[in-house]
Structure 1
Amino acid sequence: MLEQEMSVTLPIDPGFPHPAGTEDEVVLWWLGQAGFALRHGQTLLFIDPYLSDVLADKYRGRLFPHTRMQPPPVNPSDVVGLTAVLCTHGHTDHMDLGAIPYLQSRSDPLFVVPRAEASKGVSRGIPPARLVGMDAGETFEAPGYRVTAVPAAHEELTEDAYGQNLFLGYVIEIGGVRIYHSGDCAPYPGQHQLVASLDVDLALLPVNGRDAHRRGNGVPGNLTLDEGLALVRAAGVPRLVCHHWGMFAFNTAHPAQLRAQLASVDDIEWRVPSLGEAFTATAVGR
C-alpha cells in the first residue's frame, strides 16, 4: 500500500507568481486519481477533480471500499479564479458531487461534460447555464483554451440511446500546448491514428490496468503501462504522464514499480507525478 502523503496547498490562485515565469509553458499539478490542474496566465482548468470523500461512505463495508489512500491536495472551496472544470465521464471519481458545489464558491467556472451525462451533471450541482455538453469529434473554444472531445473506451466504447459517447477524452489546447487526457480508457481501434491527427505534445494516461475480477464487480479498467507506451509511440506523442493510481487500494498501481518499468525508456519523456507537485509542459517544435 502507498504511504499517505501530507496534504499540500497548490498555488492555483491566478495572483500567485507563475512557477516557471515564462509565457510559453503550461503548469500542471496532479490532483490524484485522474485529476489535473492546468494553468496558463489567467486560465485555470481542472480535469476530473475528485476532491471529496463521498465514495468512502457509499462503498463502506462492500467488496471494494473506496477509502482514499491520499488526501485531497486542495480544498475545493479554497479554489479561486477557476476558469473551467472538464469531466470526462459520469463516474463519481471524475464528476465529483462532493466537490462540484464548492468549486463554485469562489469562482464561476464552466463545466465541460459528455452531453450524454448532462442530466447527471446537473443533478450533481452544475448550473445548467454553466454546463457545456460535448460529444466525440466536437470542439469547444473559449478565451484562453480550446477543447476537442475524442472517444474513450472504459473498457468499451459506449453510447447512449442517441448515439452519444458516455466516455470521452479531451485534447486541450492551452498556452500553445496540446494536452491529451484520455479519460478512463483502454485501447480501441483507430485510437492512435486519431491521437496522431491531433498533434499532441503531452499525454495524460491512466495506467492502472484492468482485469476480469474488477470488471465483473462493476469496476471497468484502463490501459496498462505497456499499452500506454504503445499508444504514445504509435501516435507520435513525445511525453507521457502516468496517473489513476494511489487513490483506492483495489484499483491502483505502485509508483515505484511504474518508475522501475519506465527506467529503461529513453524515447519518451515520462513522469510518474507526485501529488500536488508542479511541473511544466511546452509545445514540441513542429
Structure 2
Amino acid sequence: MNRRRFFQRSGLAAIVALAGGITARSAMAGNRYYSGPVSDHFDGTTFFNPGGVEPRGGLDLLRWKLGNGNIPWPDTFASPFPQAVPETRVDGERIVVTMIGHASMLVQVAGLNILTDPVWSERTSPFSFAGPKRVNPPGIRLEDLPAIDIVLVTHNHYDHMDLQTLKVLHGRDRPHFITPLGNDTIIRSGVPEARITVMDWGGSEKVSADVTFHCEPCHHWSARGLGDRRMALWAAFVFETPAGKIYHIGDTGFHEGRNYRAAGEKHGPFRLANLPFGAYEPRWFMEAQHQNPEEAVKGMELCGAAFAAGHHWGTVKLTNEGVEQPVEALYAALDARGILRERFRPMRPGEVFEVPASRPA
C-alpha cells in the first residue's frame, strides 16, 4: 500500500494533527501564536489544564490506530431534516439553534446571529485529499445563512477551526470573531483583516447593549500540526442574554465535572447548554479530551442546564464508535438518571431547536 493510500484509509493524516503531532516538548522553540505572562494555565510557552491530564503522545496514537475496535461508518449518513433556511433575526424571549454539523451551530438570540466553530469544508483536515470526510452536507447552505454577527471559535483543531470557511464568512458579513488566546494569530493567517476579540479564561466581552460573552475553562488542548501542541488556548463560553444564559462547549473531557460545577456556580442556571457527546472511543485514549454521552448528561445536571443541544457526532468520523452509538448511549444515560429525553436533544444537520422558555417539571 503506498503512503498516500495508507493515510487516506487510516485517517492518520488528519488524526496526527488532531492528536497534536508526535513532537516532544523539547522540540518546541517558543510559542509561535502567543506571548504573555505565566498564569495558572500557561507556563510561559504552552497552555495546560490545571490539575488535568495531558494529551497522549505518538506511540499511543499508533497503538490506537493500529489496534482493534473500530466500527466503520457508512459513506453517507443522511439527516432526516432538510437543509434549513433560518429566520433573519430572533428577538424577545426566543432562543433558536439550527444544527449545521459536528460542532457548527447557528444560535439566534437577542437579535444576534452567532455561529459556533463553523466548518463548511468537505474534510476536517490540513489536507484536501485525506482525513475525516463529512458524511452529510451542512444543515444550512452558506447562501441561506442570515447575516452573521458573531463567529465563535473555541479552539484550533481542524474540526473546529476551518480557515477557508472563516475567510468566506469574513468576505460575506465581516463578523466579529471571538476566540481564546493565540487563536487570533492562526485566524489572521487566513483572514488578515478579521475583527477579532481574544479572550483568556475568566474574561468577558460585551458584544451588544444586552449580550455579554464570558470565556471559561474546559478540559481540552490544541494543535494544528507538528510542533505547536498547546500553543493556543481552548475554552468554553457563556452567552449572557436577556432570553437567558447559554453555556457553549466545543470540546471537553469531563475532568471529574470540575468545570461544569464551576460554571454552574459562577453563571448558572442555564436555559441551554450546547454540549459535545460524541468522538469518545476508545476511552483509554479519548477520556481526557472528549466526554462520552453519560458524562455529558452528568455535565448538564452539574451546570444546572434546563435543556441541552447535543453536538460533535454523526458528521465526521474521528474515533472508534459507530455512527449511531452516541445517541443510543445518550438515551440510555438519560433514562438511567430519570431525565426526560426531550431535555437533551442530539442535533442532526438541518434540525431547528426552538428552546422552551421554561424548565420542565
CA distance in 1, matches of 2:345, 2:87: 24
Aligned to 1:223: 291
CA distance in 1, matches of 2:347, 2:123: 24
Unaligned segments of structure 2, at least 5 residues: 1-72, 223-227
Using the TM superposition, give the Cα deviation of residue 100 of structure 1 relative to its aligned residue in structure 2, in angstroms: 0.8
Contact 2:136 2:315 in 1 (8 A): yes
Identity of aligned residues (%): 21
Using the TM superposition, give the Cα deviation of residue 60 of structure 1 relative to its aligned residue in structure 2, in angstroms: 3.8
TM-score, with normalisation over the residues of structure 1? 0.81
Partner SS, residue 222 of structure 1: coil
Partner SS, residue 148 of structure 1: strand
CA distance in 2, matches of 1:38, 1:165: 25
CA distance in 2, matches of 1:201, 1:173: 10
Q: Number of matched residues?
A: 268
Aligned to 1:88: 154
Q: Deviations over 1:42-73 (max 9, x none)?
A: 31000111111253671745xxx311111112
Q: Deviations over 1:210-257 (max 9, x none)?
A: 436866xxx984111111112222232232222101122243652552
Counting helix residues as a fraction of each chain, which structure ranks higher? 2
Partner SS, residue 71 of structure 1: coil
CA shift in 2, pair 1:50/1:149, >3 Å? same
Aligned to 1:205: 275
Contact 1:56 1:68 in 2 (8 A): no
Does 2:140 match 1:71?
no
TM-score, with normalisation over the residues of structure 2? 0.65
Using the TM superposition, give the Cα deviation of residue 95 of structure 1 relative to its aligned residue in structure 2, in angstroms: 1.5
CA distance in 1, matches of 2:235, 2:327: 29
CA distance in 2, matches of 1:140, 1:75: 29
CA shift in 2, pair 1:103/1:76, >3 Å? farther
Q: Which amino acid aligns with 2:133?
A: T
CA shift in 2, pair 1:14/1:98, >3 Å? same
Quick check: 170-179 or 107-116, which moved more? 170-179
CA shift in 2, pair 1:131/1:155, >3 Å? closer
Using the TM superposition, give the Cα deviation of residue 174 of structure 1 relative to its aligned residue in structure 2, in angstroms: 3.1
Q: Which amino acid aligns with 1:151?
A: P
Contact 1:51 1:74 in 2 (8 A): no
Unaligned segments of structure 1, at least 5 residues: none
Aligned to 2:239: 172
Q: Which amino acid aligns with 2:297?
A: L
Structure showing greater radius of gyration is: 2
Residue of 277, 285, 310 corresponding to 1:242: 310
Aligned to 2:187: 121
CA distance in 1, matches of 2:118, 2:153: 8
